Amino acid sequence: MFRACQTPRRLLPAFAIALCCASPAGAAETHKSPYAGEHTRPVKSLSPDDLAELGRGGGWGLAKAAELNGMPGPAHLLELKDEIPLSADQVTKIAAIFERMRTRAIAGGQRLVGAERTLETAFVRRTVNERTLHTLLSEIGQARTALRYTHLAAHLETLPLLTGTQIARYNELRGYGGDPCANPPEGHDPEMWRRHNGCN
């Protein structure tokens, strides 16, 4: 005769442990979002550090394509002016580039933050739909592109003011290592690389 399944007594302790481990508290901890706590941010998609960086016109990592390919930026050049070293004329010209960049970056950062706030407000108020979402994201994308252009363009404007030796010293001080004139990165045309980096 068929009998209902029963838990053998010798398995009861293990069964009890399994039930304990599957408690709601344990499950809640397992499924905790890595975003927990971010729901209190003024702008959910931007951290306090992000807002501070954008507010002061900081780089926000937007110029890495230039910075990490041997094209120094004005802000760090001015910080390292004595170690490189830069001439008084170079400092004056680079400082002017930096101030223009910073002014534009602050305005650009405000535009980006404002666009992110508008997107968030639409979700908070449940007024967003597929059509408006596309428009809101397009504005965020345009704001970010314009801000990135501001930072990268400053690197482009700065490069002709430097010698190859100064660029090599900058990269060394910034921890990128090696002489960009002597060792063009793999995948780059050596002659073009040396020309772009002002190598003698």
26-82 per-position pLDDT tens digit: 555 688 898 988 988 989 999 999 999 999 999 999 999 999 999 999 999 999 999
94-110 per-position pLDDT tens digit: 999 999 999 999 999 99
**φ, ψ for residue 129, nearest 5 deg:** -140, 180
**With bands split at pLDDT 50, 70 and 90, how would you rate the model's confidence at 191?**
confident
pLDDT greater than 80 at residue 185: no
**With bands split at pLDDT 50, 70 and 90, how would you rate the model's confidence at 174?**
very high
Structural domain range at position 145:
44-161
197 burial via Cβ count (<10 Å: 0-12, 13-18, 19+): buried
pLDDT greater than 60 at residue 144: yes
Domain-located, residue 36:
no
Task: Count helices and strands (H / E) in the chain.
Answer: 9, 0
pLDDT greater than 50 at residue 85: yes
Averaged pLDDT, 112-137? 97
- Enclosing H/E stretch for 20: helix 12-21
Domain-located, residue 184:
no
Domain-located, residue 178:
no
For position 95, what pLDDT does the model report? 98
Domain-located, residue 80:
yes
Domain-located, residue 188:
no
Averaged pLDDT, 20-28? 55
Q: Are 77 and 170 in contact (CB under 8 A)?
A: yes
- Interatomic CA distance for residues 130 and 72, integer angstroms: 41
Least confident of 76-80, 105-109, 128-132, 193-197: 193-197
Number of domains in the chain: 1
Domain-located, residue 197:
no
For position 20, what pLDDT does the model report? 53
pLDDT greater than 90 at residue 178: no
**With bands split at pLDDT 50, 70 and 90, how would you rate the model's confidence at 2?**
very low
Using a pLDDT cut of 90, give the percent of the chain over it. Answer: 68
- Reading the block at residue 39, the tokens are 């729901």
Which residue type sits at 88?
A
pTM of the model: 0.75
Domain-located, residue 16:
no
Domain-located, residue 107:
yes
- Interatomic CA distance for residues 101 and 116, integer angstroms: 22
